[in-house]
Amino acid sequence: DLASDKAALLSFRSAVGRSILQWNPSDQSPCNWQGLTCESSRVTVIRLPGVGLIGQIPAGVLGNLTKLRTLSLRFNALSGPLPSDIASLSELRNLYLQGNDFSGEIPPSLFRLSNLVRLNLANNGFSGEIPVGMNNLTRLGTLYLENNKLSGSIPDFNLTNLAQFNVSNNQLNGSVPVKLRKMSSNAFKGNLGLCGAPVLPACPGESALPPTVSQSPATSPSSRGGGGGGGKKKKKLSGGAIAGIAIGAAVGFLLLMALLILLCRKKSSGRTGSLDVPAAKPHLAAEEGAGVPLEKEMDERGQTSTAAVGAAAAGASLAGAATANGAKKLIFFGGAARVFDLEDLLRASAEVLGKGTFGTSYKAVLEMGTVVAVKRLKDVMISEREFREKIETVGSMDQENLVPLRAYYFSKDEKLLVYDYMSMGSLSALLHGNRGAGRTPLNWETRTGIALGAARGIEYLHSQGSDVSHGNIKSSNILLTKNYDARVSDFGLAALVGPSSSPNPNRVAGYRAPEVTDARRISQKADVYSFGVLLLELLTGKAPAQALLNEEGVDLPRWVQSVVREEWTAEVFDLELLRYQNVEEEMVQLLQLAIDCAAQYPDNRPSMSEVASRIEEIRRSSLRAEQQNDGVELSRRTDPVDPPSAFD
């Protein structure tokens, strides 16, 4: 009953939180104590993330809280073994203990908790093997065990609901069970002895083995200690054979990569360039011939000479760009200074930025050092007059959160759009591009600033008329200046191109509102939905379904709603945001706004101006929270230097 819950909590407090938890023992009920939730006069939720709990949880304490459904003690300094009486918490659904100093084995009794849905033991010092008993947790959807000292092989899990899984940075070895190989490759990295999953080395003799048989440590590619254990002598591979297999596999892999790169280069020398560009730094034409002058490519139109292919690999080109027939000129918008002409543009060296719905985008570095982004449109079916009319409308849109269209070129064969080059790339690249060690985390202030900028850009577009919408809001269309100011790109282009170029359903699937069945029938409310998904992406750090090439994404609105329904709101946030404890309230407010935007029925979604003012208010309130808590560091990144712009 509640009295025994209270007694257990007080024992817990005196063991690990005496000076931290301001729980008043003379209160009759513990239900109003910090971090607790009660239901039907029992404690059902303990949520004490990052409050400074320290020490060992004694046995016989937590086990008394028999109605507990959620226990979150993440990011504290709890140590020692996990008490085995946790097994008495038969109603427990969510156990979050990541970011502590727990040690010892994962207690097998944990696997009696058959209601467990989420188990996060990451970033601790757990050792020993992952118990096979995990298979009893049939409802388990999340299992995070990364950054521990777990050894042995991964048991052959048969958990049908498991959607989130990570065992990276342990000491595991052997073959990754077949059912887990669909998980992201990041889930297994940092375990020198694992094989079989994407990116990991292939398991030696894999094809000869039944796919679910785990490799013994002695046969894993990097087994330590010479494979002495086991005692089974038959067919044991010699050290030489293992080395041979490993070298063979490595050489094979390198050859495959070389072949792929060659294919990609061939592709990028074609008329329309290629998406598959190496992540090359900008090249000036003068620099060791790394970039290809556009003009040269123009002369060689249609021909894929070896020289062009080779050069295009380092600095791709606007191959086959405009036939500069003298009469045609670059048309500049507004008051933009005509600092270069078509000739300059064609002589610039170019690098493919990517291939999108409307064509291929290039970064072009002009001889005078000016950098611009050039979009080469494909499938423009409308007449020249119509094109000029429509592009004039796009060019006249002038708002600080839009990527300005500076100029265009129109000829029968070629349509080019010239934009300011955004040096920090897209929000998509920033969020998902480099999750490795060298990554600078994106702080709360920067994220909300980007959200606000993007919202204002879209709000401006919507203010141009009730039938004006963007139609393709997604994180790769939110570009960033050197100060991380957001600029919306790709607006107004849908009207220029033919039906075959309407946004590829697969590439926008994760952002598309449920009512949009024809990608060309877009609306302002559909933009709001896409923006809601973008907010969820900013908050969770997860990519929406199909937003990233080669990587699975998440149906963000559905996922977030399911987590929030289970009162686990705090768990949706990107780990990088968890350090900003003082703005938790604002994070939840922004999450609520995202959910409102992604409402199923268009009429229930707010307008973009309401969205922008709600973000503004959230930012104001974060600022107040920050000022009250000036111990928390919310410093901005060091600003990198932009290349010179022609239009500053």
Ligand X SMILES: Nc1ncnc2c1ncn2[C@@H]1O[C@H](COP(=O)(O)OP(=O)(O)OP(=O)(O)O)[C@@H](O)[C@H]1O
Q: Summarize as ranges the residues that interact with ligand X (CB under 6 A).
A: 353-354, 356-358, 361, 373, 375, 403, 419-422, 425-426, 472, 476-477, 479, 489-490, 503, 507
- Residue 18: DSSP 8-state: T
CA distances in angstroms from 450 to 83, 269, 477, 547, 635, listed in the order given = 44, 35, 12, 18, 15
* Residue 72 or 472 with smaller CB distance to ligand X: 472
**Least distance to ligand X from the beta carbon of 237, Å?**
46
**Least distance to ligand X from the beta carbon of 513, Å?**
16
**What is the C-alpha to C-alpha distance for residues 45 and 37, in angstroms, rounded to an integer?**
5
Where b means 16+ CB within 10 Å and e means fewer, 378-413 reads bebeeeeeebeeebeebbebeeebbbbbbbbbbbee
**Least distance to ligand X from the beta carbon of 542, Å?**
18
* Residue 297 or 420 with smaller CB distance to ligand X: 420
**What is the C-alpha to C-alpha distance for residues 432 and 335, in angstroms, rounded to an integer?**
37
What is the three-class DSSP state of 178?
A: helix
**Least distance to ligand X from the beta carbon of 493, Å?**
8
* Residue 17 or 492 with smaller CB distance to ligand X: 492
* Residue 58 or 425 with smaller CB distance to ligand X: 425
**Least distance to ligand X from the beta carbon of 260, Å?**
20
State how far Cα 49 lies from the chain centre.
24
* Residue 408 or 421 with smaller CB distance to ligand X: 421
* Residue 36 or 353 with smaller CB distance to ligand X: 353
SS3 content of the chain, % helix, strand, coil (to 5): 35, 15, 50
**Least distance to ligand X from the beta carbon of 385, Å?**
25
Q: Residue 76 — φ and ψ, nearest 5°?
A: -120, -160
**Least distance to ligand X from the beta carbon of 398, Å?**
16
Gap between the terminal Cα atoms of the chain: 70
Stated as kind and residue range, the H or E segment containing 392 is: helix 384-396
- DSSP structure string for 222-271: T-SGGG-TT---TTPPPHHHHHHHHHHHHHHHHHHHHHHHHHHHHHHTST
**Least distance to ligand X from the beta carbon of 506, Å?**
10
**Least distance to ligand X from the beta carbon of 321, Å?**
16
* Residue 223 or 426 with smaller CB distance to ligand X: 426
Burial label for 256, CB within 10 Å (0-12, 13-18, 19+), is exposed
**What is the C-alpha to C-alpha distance for residues 492 and 358, in angstroms, rounded to an integer?**
11
**Least distance to ligand X from the beta carbon of 363, Å?**
7
* Residue 159 or 403 with smaller CB distance to ligand X: 403
**What is the C-alpha to C-alpha distance for residues 135 and 245, in angstroms, rounded to an integer?**
33
Amino acid in position 30: P
* Residue 466 or 506 with smaller CB distance to ligand X: 506
**What is the C-alpha to C-alpha distance for residues 150 and 132, in angstroms, rounded to an integer?**
13
**What is the C-alpha to C-alpha distance for residues 430 and 427, in angstroms, rounded to an integer?**
5
**What is the C-alpha to C-alpha distance for residues 557 and 368, in angstroms, rounded to an integer?**
47
What is the three-class DSSP state of 478?
A: strand
| Contact between 419 and 375 (Cβ < 8 Å) | yes
**Least distance to ligand X from the beta carbon of 444, Å?**
23
* Residue 423 or 446 with smaller CB distance to ligand X: 423
**Least distance to ligand X from the beta carbon of 407, Å?**
13
**What is the C-alpha to C-alpha distance for residues 23 and 17, in angstroms, rounded to an integer?**
10
Amino acid in position 156: D
What is the three-class DSSP state of 384?
A: helix
* Residue 204 or 359 with smaller CB distance to ligand X: 359
**What is the C-alpha to C-alpha distance for residues 349 and 363, in angstroms, rounded to an integer?**
8
* Residue 164 or 523 with smaller CB distance to ligand X: 523
* Residue 215 or 423 with smaller CB distance to ligand X: 423
Nearest-CA neighbor of 480 among 435, 521, 442? 442
Give residue number: closest CB to ligand X: 356
* Residue 219 or 401 with smaller CB distance to ligand X: 401
Amino acid in position 421: Y
* Residue 422 or 587 with smaller CB distance to ligand X: 422
**What is the C-alpha to C-alpha distance for residues 186 and 171, in angstroms, rounded to an integer?**
15
**Least distance to ligand X from the beta carbon of 456, Å?**
18
| Contact between 527 and 469 (Cβ < 8 Å) | yes
| Contact between 553 and 541 (Cβ < 8 Å) | no
**Least distance to ligand X from the beta carbon of 274, Å?**
12
**What is the C-alpha to C-alpha distance for residues 512 and 518, in angstroms, rounded to an integer?**
10
**Least distance to ligand X from the beta carbon of 418, Å?**
9
